[in-house]
Amino acid sequence: MRILASELTLDGAGRPELGRNLTYGLLDNLGRAIVTGRFETEPFPTEAELAKQHNVSRSVTREAVKMLTAKGLLSARPRQGTVVQPTTSWNLFDTDVLRWLLERQFSVDLLKQFNQLRIAIEPEAAALAARFGDEAELRRITDGLERMEAAEKGLDDTLDADIAFHVAILRASSNPFYFQFRDVVTTALRTSIRFTNRIKGRTASVADHAAVRDAILARNPDAARTAMRDLIGDVLELIDEAEGAKA
Amino acid sequence: MRILASELTLDGAGRPELGRNLTYGLLDNLGRAIVTGRFETEPFPTEAELAKQHNVSRSVTREAVKMLTAKGLLSARPRQGTVVQPTTSWNLFDTDVLRWLLERQFSVDLLKQFNQLRIAIEPEAAALAARFGDEAELRRITDGLERMEAAEKGLDDTLDADIAFHVAILRASSNPFYFQFRDVVTTALRTSIRFTNRIKGRTASVADHAAVRDAILARNPDAARTAMRDLIGDVLELIDEAEGAKA
DNA sequence: GCGCGTACATTTATCTGATTAATTAGTCTT
DNA sequence: AAGACTAATTAATCAGATAAATGTACGCGC
């Protein structure tokens, strides 16, 4: 019996598979399985076994494995087979890896690590934005802030506006490496909100964000850096408190 | 005539191809070609054309393209073909992408962007190391510093020692996201040395590095942050001066 | 002439099965 | 005991056929 791709857009349980085609579907399944640690106890299957288990051809299998290799999760060699790499070689700034990492479970520890990273990146990004951001880039920052104000009146989504603001600053840093963090920051914010809102009824304060914007528009790097640092520092404190309360 | 892989370990010019097999060889060639901007003027070839041009099968071609897709450089869709993605979607923290980016040409601008990133990451990493670094991790930092001292007497390589020191701090931050920057920092240092040594006869001062180590061992996050910031700030100033001199 | 849908062409996606290469483990020789 | 040969395993590569997706162009009806 020949299995057609169109018949596989739904998996056994009837849920839609992630990805536009078989390769991306397998990529997603394997990625999640690896990150979840399924292959810490059992060995990673050989190419032939994988193909049989997922009812796809070897081509699809090999291409999915190659993509996971490119993201640092796997390594394949003849005779040795395909093996999961240590987490230190995973590309944590890859969108897919990041998503799999969060889907497996909500971890306060991971959220903390996100924000420890943000407190390094974003204050410096704000400083760079103040120094080098051009007209259009600064405009985006203001737009983001205005969306936050509108959200307070229920005219926009709070979280989306918050994300737009922070990403605008990364972009305005005019350094492509900083802009790479847009996924991490987006993910961190989406995750944070689920968490911090549960702890306190506290929304990201528009006033604090406005302070960052003002410093950047005033072309004052030091003030921008400090203002952003305070902003994220608050989040980090909140997480620490919550963690301490549990321990 | 059948072309065997073993015959292709050397390319036409007799240079060894990068990568252990055909797929990795093609990956490297295409990666460099994309980063160099070859396909800004001409369209990216179709899968069939690529295979013919490089004398490999379509499987090899497809797998190489899939890996480049995983790294954000390409996107493939039926009928539309394979197209190069805008640089904003490239994964700049991928080791391969980073290497291609540097191989194409030495750019002061890129070096500057590297160090603008380092000045965000490394001071904070030092602060985290002071707070959370365990015995073994701190030991590595001291080891790195001792190698730098040995290098001054010609007993070790200056650059390798310097890299070991900085990477040890990233590791000691105990945050996997920070440790991800080991490639960027390594690359930045290897590139910096080519550059800064040409400008001034200035070696990375062991005393400044020792200050960072001491602050971390003393479990003083603020001092560690400041010391590291000064260290990298000096490099950045050097680059700015050189850039200004040219302009 | 304008919209709309259908037929067609192009390119990636997928499958299959055979062959080759690399590497490890074992065995045999000396 | 050391080294060389052999076998077995697994990924790597090739070839060519078929399917699916999607943009383009054509033609039909209004």
DSSP string over A132-191: H--HHHHHHHHHHHHHHHHHHTTSS-HHHHHHHHHHHHHHHT--HHHHTTHHHHHHHHHH
Confirm if A162 and A148 have CB atoms less than 8 A apart: yes
- Protein-contacted positions of strand C (CB under 7 Å): 9-18, 20-24
What's the token pair of residue A177?
């490496």
Asked if strand D comes closer than 7 Å to A78 Cβ, the answer is yes
Give the pLDDT band (50/70/90) at residue B200.
low
Whole-number percent of chain A with pLDDT over 90: 71
Give the pLDDT band (50/70/90) at residue B14.
very low
Full-model pTM:
0.89
Torsion on CA atoms A132, A137, A140, A142, rounded to nearest 10: 40
The gap between A235 CA and C6 C1' (Å) is 58
Nearest alpha carbon to residue B44 among A66, B89, B53:
B53
Nucleotide nearest to A77 (CA to C1'): D11
Crossing angle of helices B95-104/B22-36, nearest 10°?
Answer: 50
CB contact under 8 A, B114 and A23: no
Please determine, for residue A13, whether its predicted confidence score (pLDDT) is greater than 60. Answer: no
3-state secondary structure of B40: helix
Give the pLDDT band (50/70/90) at residue A132.
very high
The gap between B5 CA and C20 C1' (Å) is 9
Please determine, for residue A92, whether its predicted confidence score (pLDDT) is greater than 60. Answer: yes
CA angle B234, B239, A166 (to 5 degrees): 85
Confirm if A143 and A217 have CB atoms less than 8 A apart: no
- Distance CA(B130)–CA(B168), nearest Å, equals 12
Please determine, for residue A91, whether its predicted confidence score (pLDDT) is greater than 60. Answer: yes
Whole-number percent of chain B with pLDDT over 70: 87
Average pLDDT, rounded, for chain B: 88
- Distance CA(B63)–CA(B25), nearest Å, equals 11
* A11-15, A70-74, A159-163, A205-209: the lowest-pLDDT one: A11-15
E-only strand ranges, B96-195:
none
The number of residues making up chain A comes to 247
CB contact under 8 A, B87 and A176: yes
Confirm if B208 and B230 have CB atoms less than 8 A apart: yes
CB contact under 8 A, B177 and A117: yes
pLDDT at residue B203, as a whole number: 58
- Distance CA(B69)–CA(B187), nearest Å, equals 23
